[in-house]
Amino acid sequence: MFFHVQRLINEIVPGEPDPAAANALQEGLGGQFGEMRTMMQYLFQSMNFRGPSAKPYRDLIQGIGTEEISHVELIGTTISRLLDGSPEYSGKPTDPVDKPGAGGATPLNIALSESNIHHYLVGAQGALPVDAAGNPWNGSWVYNSGNLVLDLLYNLMLESTGRLQKCRIYEMTDNVTARSTVAYLIVRDQAHENAYAKALETLGVNWKTALPIPKTNAEKFPEVKKLLDLGLQSKQYTFDLTGQSEAGKIFQGLSPSNDGTELIANEQAPAGVPSTIAPERFEEFSPGLDTDLLALIQATAEMELADIEALFAPVPPTK
Amino acid sequence: MFFHVQRLINEIVPGEPDPAAANALQEGLGGQFGEMRTMMQYLFQSMNFRGPSAKPYRDLIQGIGTEEISHVELIGTTISRLLDGSPEYSGKPTDPVDKPGAGGATPLNIALSESNIHHYLVGAQGALPVDAAGNPWNGSWVYNSGNLVLDLLYNLMLESTGRLQKCRIYEMTDNVTARSTVAYLIVRDQAHENAYAKALETLGVNWKTALPIPKTNAEKFPEVKKLLDLGLQSKQYTFDLTGQSEAGKIFQGLSPSNDGTELIANEQAPAGVPSTIAPERFEEFSPGLDTDLLALIQATAEMELADIEALFAPVPPTK
Amino acid sequence: MFFHVQRLINEIVPGEPDPAAANALQEGLGGQFGEMRTMMQYLFQSMNFRGPSAKPYRDLIQGIGTEEISHVELIGTTISRLLDGSPEYSGKPTDPVDKPGAGGATPLNIALSESNIHHYLVGAQGALPVDAAGNPWNGSWVYNSGNLVLDLLYNLMLESTGRLQKCRIYEMTDNVTARSTVAYLIVRDQAHENAYAKALETLGVNWKTALPIPKTNAEKFPEVKKLLDLGLQSKQYTFDLTGQSEAGKIFQGLSPSNDGTELIANEQAPAGVPSTIAPERFEEFSPGLDTDLLALIQATAEMELADIEALFAPVPPTK
Amino acid sequence: MFFHVQRLINEIVPGEPDPAAANALQEGLGGQFGEMRTMMQYLFQSMNFRGPSAKPYRDLIQGIGTEEISHVELIGTTISRLLDGSPEYSGKPTDPVDKPGAGGATPLNIALSESNIHHYLVGAQGALPVDAAGNPWNGSWVYNSGNLVLDLLYNLMLESTGRLQKCRIYEMTDNVTARSTVAYLIVRDQAHENAYAKALETLGVNWKTALPIPKTNAEKFPEVKKLLDLGLQSKQYTFDLTGQSEAGKIFQGLSPSNDGTELIANEQAPAGVPSTIAPERFEEFSPGLDTDLLALIQATAEMELADIEALFAPVPPTK
Amino acid sequence: MFFHVQRLINEIVPGEPDPAAANALQEGLGGQFGEMRTMMQYLFQSMNFRGPSAKPYRDLIQGIGTEEISHVELIGTTISRLLDGSPEYSGKPTDPVDKPGAGGATPLNIALSESNIHHYLVGAQGALPVDAAGNPWNGSWVYNSGNLVLDLLYNLMLESTGRLQKCRIYEMTDNVTARSTVAYLIVRDQAHENAYAKALETLGVNWKTALPIPKTNAEKFPEVKKLLDLGLQSKQYTFDLTGQSEAGKIFQGLSPSNDGTELIANEQAPAGVPSTIAPERFEEFSPGLDTDLLALIQATAEMELADIEALFAPVPPTK
Amino acid sequence: MFFHVQRLINEIVPGEPDPAAANALQEGLGGQFGEMRTMMQYLFQSMNFRGPSAKPYRDLIQGIGTEEISHVELIGTTISRLLDGSPEYSGKPTDPVDKPGAGGATPLNIALSESNIHHYLVGAQGALPVDAAGNPWNGSWVYNSGNLVLDLLYNLMLESTGRLQKCRIYEMTDNVTARSTVAYLIVRDQAHENAYAKALETLGVNWKTALPIPKTNAEKFPEVKKLLDLGLQSKQYTFDLTGQSEAGKIFQGLSPSNDGTELIANEQAPAGVPSTIAPERFEEFSPGLDTDLLALIQATAEMELADIEALFAPVPPTK
């Protein structure tokens, strides 16, 4: 069973709208080696897991899988932020961007030349479940052979490929919003790479000097370096509310990445930051509530306030 | 950010293996109107949501979306249970089902005539991200127009179609394991139908006598009736750890299903039941650990026990 | 612009339900060489046609394309008839087939072992836009190079392949309902084969003895022979309401099929037969109107009768 | 059975070639919520319809479905017109655009930077059965549950989404050719929205102030306003040649769009305008007839003229 | 550049037709981890290879890739043999299996209940480029990141998964024809597993006891054991006509499979066996030549014999 | 069984990087009518071929199919060359293109605006198995009906369409590297067009003046003319190592292209040119070997040199 808090797992640094960067990030969300893929793959591997005596491996996969849902939320929201308001950044600033079609204006003209046209036409300047070339996510990508060594080997390759692709995305754009999320995911992918490599070590592989894959001095990426200095690549959370995870039996000892750090798995989750809701975009008819509908909402809210307060205990803001 | 507990949202009643029932359930997992779809659709609608003043609608969608992840876990595990050990039920009981290929035996012969051959060939008697006709899940199904009324209307139709299909699956099999999960999901789909119908009511629609869709006396389904008597179709959980959800502003008042119940949203989550790990299946080479690898695991576990106990506080079993 | 009459282009002979035959016919509806394909391909070739001086070729393609819509209607309705009521033919006759789920009955049990499970689970015993292996129809199949000779060559191959596949379907089942439609389409495919072959003759190809493709004595198929004796393979209708089609400039002279007949294009359309509406199927919740909804319909109908009669002139039944 | 006239359902206003606008329109043709989708969905819903007493609903769906074929023809031809001759508008006007490859010229250079390269490479400056992001049309999109209320609900959502997307396309371009067709379809989508909303009203839903969806003052779009002033959003044609349609029993009374108009269904079809054939494009080898082939056509035409005139009665041009 | 000899890389043992076994083998041909996949993946990795100093790795991949084309030929022909004539084995022996449709016979009736209906309807009892569940082969499966370590790691996982799936297929059927090919491919997959494992060893990984994957005593499979006794799992051919391959620099030393053998790469290719052409199948209209066409072929052959003999030197049968 | 030589079937003329031209060429590699398609289609037609007396037709198809593998290699390598180093040609020359990410540089910025972003993000500036619009290659495209006349007719259409598309690609770019390969393939497609047309002639078709398709004076394309002057369009190689091919019985006599040449089939294969390996690209982490890994390779190479030389006879460079 899963739970949610209204917080993002990592901060999204505010910056300029950038539809081209948003589109590159789609690979990390809906691509074959993106976060939707890892999330689904680990969810299936956990459900179908065989071998009660191998529980620590199940728990390791399950914990990473839970983290990946938060990664989907993080990168999806980042894409949404990068697209939000981008029509005003088209080089042809058009006045009535908030008055759809008024006087025959073309506030969405940018959609014809930038990014994926579906970002403006199918979605409302928001993330889509597709890759950077526009291909929809596909279930046939999920790998779950049921053979533990093979599943771990695939997972190691999957995380490494995700990290490789994100290093390439980093080199495509210097948008600060895009980079803040990409850098965070590069480091977390390495943490997961370490997790699966370590699991394979316990099953008889010695990685010696082969890791990390790709063999890159991530320190050359300034945003990445800051996170490496905090040791984020050697830490794994359980995301397990009742402390039953045995993933720590595997995720411990020297990092297979050969960076001299020790693997630590003694935290439940990072603190995260509060999530917010994006503004209205009239040119997309989103959310599309007219004055009457808004009045209805307002009326409903006021009427029910007392009742609601009786049901829900006042909640202190999360730290 | 998301969290997990090692509990299933509802009990899976033990019963006989049944690959044909397992395959029918795949529609509810990986089909166009199945749980992977609802989970992803509501996740995207939440990330891309516009309009801070409409937060209660976002929270309603987000809470249902979180529940759907647990539904994926529930129906996926149910399929896995229905497939587990099914080769022994082929009519041709073969001795060495646990000795892969020994003497040229064919312990997986059942795969040629039953269910989806991929359940035995690609997976190891486990759930797949495909529908009942074998088509992989596809991202183009996710609907998120950004227009709130349209998104709610689609969600209402989606839940109703899911419920319609599960009523049909119920009529295809009397396997108790399959039915326990199908009945539970029929009732929860109705709860979500109520949620989206109610949300549209607050925006100006009067459903009068049109609901529920399909217009079926679900009471004719005995397993469903038991849950209706508990009022499970009129209850919505928040799955929100810090109590910030405002979904209760919408999910309240008389049920639009015209069954005379009142909608209630004052619980965080159901209790659930502990989840377990499936047994090994040698004929599938799953998990495929030989004596040496098992010894390695055992040794690792013992060595690290002390360290681990220092990190994790002893956890009382969840009630 | 297109028009419709509530008549089928050919009679569907009544017979026994037969889900296996229905599924084989799906190839002729939603398969790569089925009627949806020909309909769409000719529609696109007509819209994108280049060369005003080549109008007779455009008109030939457009006329056949219009006929293909009626073929979609014919084969789709045939599949629907073959599926309709098939659960009662499962070998396990179940009483409450009209009382969905009552007492835990399994009136749709047949879906687990026969045909395509989607016929019962996604549709309500009706045709689907998929092929006989369950693959959905795909737009990438449509061929329209813009080069007239190539488009005609492809069309000739397309019709011949459709005819080949229907000859194979004929050999798979002796269900009279299935065969009545298959035989009709075998003969019409040959008429279209003749049309494209003749068009290529006017552009410089001499087919000599190579046609028809496949080289089969269709006379061995009794239902086909009856239609050949009527000369239906050498006749092309215009389906053009205002007589502007110039297709007859091409479709004339000796048949390239070497059967000694002459090609004739002087009729607008065949007479057809009245189409009917299928009965309700409660086990599918289709159409799913309960007593109240039916009463609403009845009331509406009576109230509006006078008004309607004022609007629509009484129409004599089509001959 | 279907018929055709060589007229377009609405005029296409002549204008400049515009491959970017053409590509945006592809969403309205081959997209998930485009005209190919509505056409196929209503065709399947009509063929598989259950419940003879609900005939007016079947006739409503069938009539709209027939109109959608003409919409496919209209938007497909519009795309073809927008692409036709566009290479000359690339900014790099090249002389030998009509002499393919002569002297190593690159008359199709525009294809590398504009629109969808397939418009020039796979098609010959013509429409394709794909969406604006290049994904081919897919049969899995067709929704036909067999449950009448659900099918109507889906259709309402489908038409509203189509209208939403076309409003967004309108805001992307001010090309007059593109806008003439987009504006017409925005208004007709609203007519269909009214039709399905009204049908649901007869089944017990009161839409009150929720419609139209999206809640947009379409009057802000000048080309749309002209058509609204003519009441085109409140009119439904039968497209039924023999007057058997009972759709008028449903499509009558006050418009659910709350614009004060009354729904009218007493016309068979609009007048339309004559359709024309596009010019040759040598750089695409389309139609690709050389002097010899053209001479063959000419000779054939002359030889057969007398024969043809004997077969076809001289037809006065349609008004 | 590639060359061909009219020999199969391994013998196909003659046996009974078996459409169910044929369909299981389709996974090994057109499945995500089948021979078409390995062939294409290694072909792309070879074409796009970077790093002249790493040529031995390129040559290793290229040599295995060339072998995979022969594997496609082997398993495709095996499937064709297993399907050939299978209609006569349907339990309902029908007389006129060689007289298509004569008297309304149904010689292809088996297609409705066995295997993939496309084997009889789309193909003519021959192999298809699809997997065992009927999904067509898809280019998105090809993995070629350009990072050598990752590509090798993927290839190791790919070969191991292919071997795992073939071990499962072996357990599904005891048809001797199917098993002769499956056993051969199990052993060759292990040879390729050894190749990629060894390549990773040279880059710093020590596999210790982790290989082979899956950890199975393939000796329990009698047909496999015979080939292991010949050492076929430790041998790699170059398939390189001019001896420029440097793959042997990698494929040497002790086998990483821990079976005590030494890897050998000093042969160009196995001897193979002559390939033959399948008989005609009239019920499929294949090849579909009537008496006239056959006479044409015969006449052509005789006329040209002298000319041909002048061009081609008489070739002694391959040893 | 297949063999390989480390030579390309035709020279790739060196030139400037050009990602837009590379992307256009993708249609010729992974498009529906590209080289992967022809290669696979002829491979399947050869494996499934029926009719021992029709062996010359099988051999003709098999020989062309073998050539197509070399065409895949040729066009794939050409795309790789056109992409290689293209980031330096972005208009924004960036210094640290070989120092990935150093100092936050964006050496891959070009990927956001040029070509297919996957060329830089998923691949490492190398060819992909997709078409020019980014759609992955699909197995459903392979046509193999088993009917010889139909298969030949399809093949003729396939080669002609391939040639048509390549003529269009020629008109899109004047990059010399792209044109050298495109021109070669235009001529070879015509040779294959001649082959299938001739095969149909032996079965009773007289093409008279209809060929070649498209009817284009390819002589207007200078690079094409040079090859036509060498007669390359009228020559077919066997690619058969042991001289058993009987394709020459068909491929002889006057060319059906009406260019007055005679068809010749008396060579085994063209000479080809040596193939080379592309340089490293650090910004893609390809091949991604760091100093340590390179040292490992070097050490391995030196250690094994003596052993290798004992195994492989010194090979003179191919002429």
pLDDT in tens, F59-107: 999 999 999 999 999 999 999 999 999 988 765 555 555 677 778 889 9
Average pLDDT over residues A264-278: 95
Q: How far apart are CA D228 and CA D238, in angstroms?
A: 20
Tell me if B220 and C108 make a contact (CB, 8 A cut-off).
no
Q: How far apart are CA B93 and CA D26, in angstroms?
A: 56
CA distance readout (Å), F290 to A225, B269, D167, E67, F282: 19, 51, 54, 31, 10
Residue A105: the pLDDT is 87
Tell the burial category of A262 from Cβ atoms under 10 Å away from its Cβ (0-12, 13-18, 19+).
Answer: exposed
* End-to-end Cα distance, chain B: 24
Q: Enumerate the H helices of chain C as residue ranges.
A: 19-30, 35-47, 55-83, 118-121, 148-170, 176-202, 222-229, 291-311
Q: Which amino acid type is present at position E161?
A: T
Residues of D in contact with C288 (CB under 8 A): 146-150
Q: Which amino acid type is present at position B161?
A: T
The CATH class that applies to domain E7-284 reads mainly alpha
The β-bridge partners of A237 are A267
Residues of F in contact with C161 (CB under 8 A): 145, 150
Q: Which residue of B has its CA nearest to A315?
A: B243
Residue D292: the pLDDT is 74
Query: Which chains touch D (3+ CB pairs under 8 A)?
Result: A, B, C, F
- Can you tell me whether residue B274 is helix, strand or coil? strand
Residue B313: the pLDDT is 42
Residue A301: the pLDDT is 58
Q: Sort strands D262-267 and D235-237 into parallel, antiparallel or unpaired.
A: parallel
Q: Is E159 annotated as a binding residue?
A: yes
- What global pTM score does this model have? 0.94
Prior bond of E222 cis (ω within 30°): no
Residue-by-residue DSSP string for C135-204: PBPBGGG----S-HHHHHHHHHHHHHHHHHHHHHHHTT---HHHHHHHHHHHHHHHHHHHHHHHHHHHTT
Are F56 and F246 spatial neighbours (Cβ–Cβ below 8 Å)? yes
Tell me if B132 and C121 make a contact (CB, 8 A cut-off).
yes
| Average pLDDT over chain E, rounded to an integer | 90
Alpha-carbon distance C158 to nearest alpha carbon in chain F (angstroms):
9
pLDDT in tens, B168-218: 999 999 999 999 999 999 999 999 999 999 999 999 899 998 999 998 777
Query: Which region among B43-47, C277-281, D94-98, E139-143 has the lowest average model confidence (pLDDT)?
Result: D94-98
Find which of F112, F290, F293 to mutate to test the A interface (most A CBs within 10 Å of its CB).
Answer: F112
Tell me if F58 and E252 make a contact (CB, 8 A cut-off).
no
Q: Which residue of B has its CA nearest to C135?
A: B135
Residue D209: the pLDDT is 87
- Can you tell me whether residue B205 is helix, strand or coil? coil
Residue C98: the pLDDT is 60
- Can you tell me whether residue F225 is helix, strand or coil? helix
- Can you tell me whether residue B29 is helix, strand or coil? helix
Q: Do chains E and D touch (3 or more CB pairs under 8 A)?
A: no
Tell me if A27 and F122 make a contact (CB, 8 A cut-off).
yes
According to DSSP, residue F286 is labeled B
Q: How far apart are CA D119 and CA F125, in angstroms?
A: 25
Alpha-carbon distance E99 to nearest alpha carbon in chain A (angstroms):
42
What ipTM was predicted for this assembly? 0.93
Residues in Cβ contact with E310 at an 8 Å cutoff, skipping those fewer than 6 apart: none
Q: SS3 for B54-117, per residue?
A: HHHHHHHHHHHHHHHHHHHHHHHHHHHHHHCCHHHHCCCCCCCCCCCCHHHCCCCHHHHCCCCC
Residue C95: the pLDDT is 52
Residues in Cβ contact with B196 at an 8 Å cutoff, skipping those fewer than 6 apart: B152, B153, B155, B156, B159
D7-290 — its CATH code?
1.20.1260.10
Average pLDDT over residues F5-33: 97
Tell me if A286 and B63 make a contact (CB, 8 A cut-off).
no
Q: Which of A132, A164, A210 sits opposite F118 (nearest CB)?
A: A132
Residues of E in contact with B117 (CB under 8 A): 23-24, 27, 132-133
Alpha-carbon distance B6 to nearest alpha carbon in chain D (angstroms):
36
D176-202 and D55-83 helices cross at what angle (nearest 10)?
170
Are F172 and F18 spatial neighbours (Cβ–Cβ below 8 Å)? no
Average pLDDT over residues F281-310: 71
Q: How far apart are CA E80 and CA E127, in angstroms?
A: 5
| Average pLDDT over chain A, rounded to an integer | 90
Residue A217: the pLDDT is 72
Q: Is F95 annotated as a binding residue?
A: no
Residue E286: the pLDDT is 93
Handedness of CA B219, B225, B230, B233 (dihedral sign): negative
Q: Which residue of A has its CA nearest to F120?
A: A168
Tell me if B121 and E167 make a contact (CB, 8 A cut-off).
no
Q: How far apart are CA C203 and CA C56, in angstroms?
A: 13
Higher pLDDT, E73 or D303: E73
pLDDT in tens, B40-93: 999 999 999 999 989 999 999 999 999 999 999 999 999 999 999 998 776 555
On the question of pLDDT at F147 being above 90, the answer is yes
Residue F293: the pLDDT is 72
Residue B295: the pLDDT is 78
Average pLDDT over residues B146-170: 97
Alpha-carbon distance F314 to nearest alpha carbon in chain C (angstroms):
51
Structure tokens given for F316:
């003179």
Tell me if F104 and A24 make a contact (CB, 8 A cut-off).
no
Residue C314: the pLDDT is 39
Alpha-carbon distance A215 to nearest alpha carbon in chain B (angstroms):
28
Q: Options 3.30.70.260, 1.25.40.10, 3.40.50.1000, 1.20.1260.10; which CATH number does C7-288 get?
A: 1.20.1260.10
Average pLDDT over residues A203-214: 91
Tell the burial category of B301 from Cβ atoms under 10 Å away from its Cβ (0-12, 13-18, 19+).
Answer: middle
Are C181 and D161 spatial neighbours (Cβ–Cβ below 8 Å)? no
> What is the enclosing helix (H) or strand (E) of A23?
helix A19-30
CA distance readout (Å), D292 to B273, C202, C207, D277, D288: 81, 11, 19, 22, 11
Q: Is F171 annotated as a binding residue?
A: no
Residues of D in contact with B216 (CB under 8 A): none
Residue B184: the pLDDT is 98
Domain ranges within chain B, ordered by starting residue: 7-287
- Can you tell me whether residue F262 is helix, strand or coil? strand
pLDDT in tens, A162-190: 999 999 999 999 999 999 999 999 999 99
Residue A312: the pLDDT is 44
pLDDT in tens, E191-206: 999 999 999 999 989 9
Q: Do chains A and C touch (3 or more CB pairs under 8 A)?
A: no
pLDDT digit string (tens) for chain D, length 319 residues:
999 999 999 999 999 999 999 999 999 999 999 999 999 999 999 999 999 989 999 999 999 999 999 999 999 999 999 999 998 876 555 555 557 777 888 999 999 988 899 999 999 999 999 999 999 999 999 999 999 999 999 999 999 999 999 999 999 999 999 999 999 999 999 999 999 999 999 998 999 989 999 987 777 899 999 999 999 999 999 999 999 999 999 999 999 999 999 999 989 999 999 999 999 999 999 998 877 777 777 776 565 544 444 444 443 333 3
Q: How far apart are CA D200 and CA D160, in angstroms?
A: 15
What pLDDT band is residue E94 in, cutting at 50, 70 and 90? low
Tell me if F292 and A170 make a contact (CB, 8 A cut-off).
no
Tell me if C139 and D137 make a contact (CB, 8 A cut-off).
yes
Q: How far apart are CA B301 and CA A246, in angstroms?
A: 10
Cβ-based contacts under 8 A for chains C and E: 88
Residues of D in contact with B203 (CB under 8 A): 210
Q: Tokens 């989606």 identify what position?
A: B158
On the question of pLDDT at A100 being above 80, the answer is no
Q: Is B159 annotated as a binding residue?
A: yes
- Can you tell me whether residue A105 is helix, strand or coil? coil
Alpha-carbon distance A55 to nearest alpha carbon in chain E (angstroms):
19
Query: Which chains touch B (3+ CB pairs under 8 A)?
Result: A, C, D, E
What pLDDT band is residue A82 in, cutting at 50, 70 and 90? very high
Q: Options 2.60.40.180, 3.40.1010.10, 1.10.8.60, 1.20.1260.10; which CATH number does F7-287 get?
A: 1.20.1260.10
Query: Which region among A254-268, B95-109, E254-268 has the lowest average model confidence (pLDDT)?
Result: B95-109
